[in-house]
């Protein structure tokens, strides 16, 4: 685990060009200017020497931002596939296909626009399938929609659920993990060929309690699923096992062994992740979080998703950096990017 530097420790830039989107921590911007970096926020102002502290959404040549994102996703998946790492079979969700029973059990229904394990459901039995169908039909019936005790805000009352369900959701094959826990691995990398943080996330399957959305409420209360929650996110009660530590409690040691963390295959996964980040550093930025899941039956790793603005809470808290308020989260994110910039400059100077 790389030590997170303070803004005061940021090395001087001496005119080095850095790209930074405006929505980042303003203290990072102030520090960069004070340390004599040339900060740009438009891709037309970049050059071959520019270091991308945040990813540049290079949408030129694409009709929509979504088309650009799909192209980037496809390119990253193709690059990882060359190392034998693939994404679980995933298809776009549609109400029509659900009604026609075209989805093979078991599968995971997930909202691709949300993080933190929100609106992610395991559909395992025929009863689960019918309850999902009933929940979707309920959402499409506006008269029924307003009869529930679910507390809706004014914005939610305006949601077009036909569009919401058909646009935001995907159906993904279910991957059985190697223990009784829900597990995933997060790798936080930089283009400087560095793994600055790695952790195995685990959480014991518990009762589904996703009542933060109308769909979650229905699948929890009105048409309950028989399956437990399948998330491992720390924001949903999961725990992190830091990779590379010298000692582990027995339960964490067992989890690491069951996932073959010390194997050549896992080291190849780490190397492939760093290489992909290097290849797409302009689009991903200076830090990126890649989430993987291990299939116990096929004994191989699969890519779940990647984040060019990953949550760095556990990484920060392990070093005594507060991570609760929005301001604290912005500062932690900025300091991690400053750390990655420092590592990059050490490699290039």
Q: Which of 344, 347, 348, 339 is nearest to 10 (CA)?
A: 339
**E strand spans, the chain:** 17-19, 38-40, 51-52, 90-92, 107-111, 120-123, 169-173, 182-190, 194-203, 239-242, 288-295, 300-307
Higher pLDDT among residues 217 and 241, named by residue: 241
Enclosing domain of residue 298: 55-308
Rounded to 5 degrees, what are φ and ψ at 186?
Answer: -110, 125
Give the pLDDT confidence score for residue 157 in this predicted structure. Answer: 58
Give the pLDDT confidence score for residue 62 in this predicted structure. Answer: 77
Residue 240 domain flag: yes
- Work out the pLDDT band at 158, boundaries 50, 70, 90: low
The Cα diameter of the chain in Å comes to 65
Q: What mean pLDDT is predicted for residues 7-17?
A: 96
Helical segments of 20-81, H only: 26-34, 65-81
Residues of the chain with pLDDT > 70, as a percent, come to 93
Give the pLDDT confidence score for residue 232 in this predicted structure. Answer: 77
Q: Which two tokens stand for residue 16?
A: 């080095």
Kindly tell me if the per-residue pLDDT of 153 is higher than 60.
Answer: no
pLDDT in tens, 15-63: 999 999 988 899 999 999 999 999 999 988 999 999 999 998 776 777 7
- Work out the pLDDT band at 294, boundaries 50, 70, 90: very high
pLDDT in tens, 121-136: 999 999 999 999 999 9
Residue 344 domain flag: no
Q: How many CA atoms lie within 13 A of 257 on its CB side?
A: 7
Chain-wide mean pLDDT for the chain?
90
Report the SS3 class of residue 172: strand
By residue count, the chain amounts to 349
Residue 4 domain flag: no
Residue 192 domain flag: yes
Report the SS3 class of residue 342: helix
**E strand spans, 43-193:** 51-52, 90-92, 107-111, 120-123, 169-173, 182-190
Give the pTM.
0.90
| Domain CATH for 61 | 3.30.470
Give the pLDDT confidence score for residue 54 in this predicted structure. Answer: 95
Number of domains forming the structure of the chain: 1
Cβ neighbour number for residue 264 with a 10 Å cutoff = 8
Residue 177 domain flag: yes
């Amino acid at each position: 685990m790389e030590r997170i530097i303070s803004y005061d420790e940021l090395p001087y830039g001496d005119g080095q060009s850095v790209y930074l989107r405006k929505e980042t921590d303003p203290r990072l911007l102030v520090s960069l200017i004070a340390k004599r970096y040339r900060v740009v926020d438009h891709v037309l102002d970049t050059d071959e020497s520019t270091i991308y502290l945040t990813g540049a959404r290079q949408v030129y040549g694409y009709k929509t931002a979504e088309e650009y994102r799909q192209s980037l996703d496809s390119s990253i998946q193709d690059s990882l596939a060359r190392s034998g790492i693939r994404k679980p079979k995933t298809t776009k969700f549609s109400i029509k296909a659900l009604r026609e029973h075209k989805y093979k059990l078991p599968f995971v229904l997930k909202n691709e626009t949300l993080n933190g394990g929100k609106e992610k459901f395991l559909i395992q039995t025929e009863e689960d399938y019918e309850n999902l169908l009933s929940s979707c039909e309920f959402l499409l019936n506006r008269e029924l929609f307003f009869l529930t005790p679910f507390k809706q805000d004014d914005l939610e009352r305006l949601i077009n659920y036909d569009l919401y369900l058909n646009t935001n959701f995907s159906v993904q094959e279910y991957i059985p993990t190697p223990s009784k826990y829900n597990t995933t691995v997060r790798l936080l990398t930089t283009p400087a060929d560095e793994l600055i943080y790695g952790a195995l996330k685990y959480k014991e399957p518990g009762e589904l309690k996703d009542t933060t959305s109308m769909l979650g409420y229905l699948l929890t209360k009105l048409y309950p699923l028989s399956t437990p929650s399948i998330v491992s996110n720390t924001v949903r009660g999961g725990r992190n096992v830091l990779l590379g530590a010298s000692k582990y409690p027995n339960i964490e040691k067992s989890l690491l062994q069951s996932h073959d963390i010390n194997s050549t295959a896992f080291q190849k996964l780490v190397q492939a992740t760093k290489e992909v980040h290097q290849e797409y550093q302009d689009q991903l930025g200076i830090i990126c979080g890649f989430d993987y899941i291990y299939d116990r039956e096929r004994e191989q790793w699969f890519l779940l998703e990647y984040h060019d603005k990953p949550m760095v809470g556990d990484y920060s808290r392990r070093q005594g950096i507060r991570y609760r308020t929005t301001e604290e989260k912005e500062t932690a994110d900025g300091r991690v990017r400053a750390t990655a910039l420092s590592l990059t400059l050490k490699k290039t100077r």
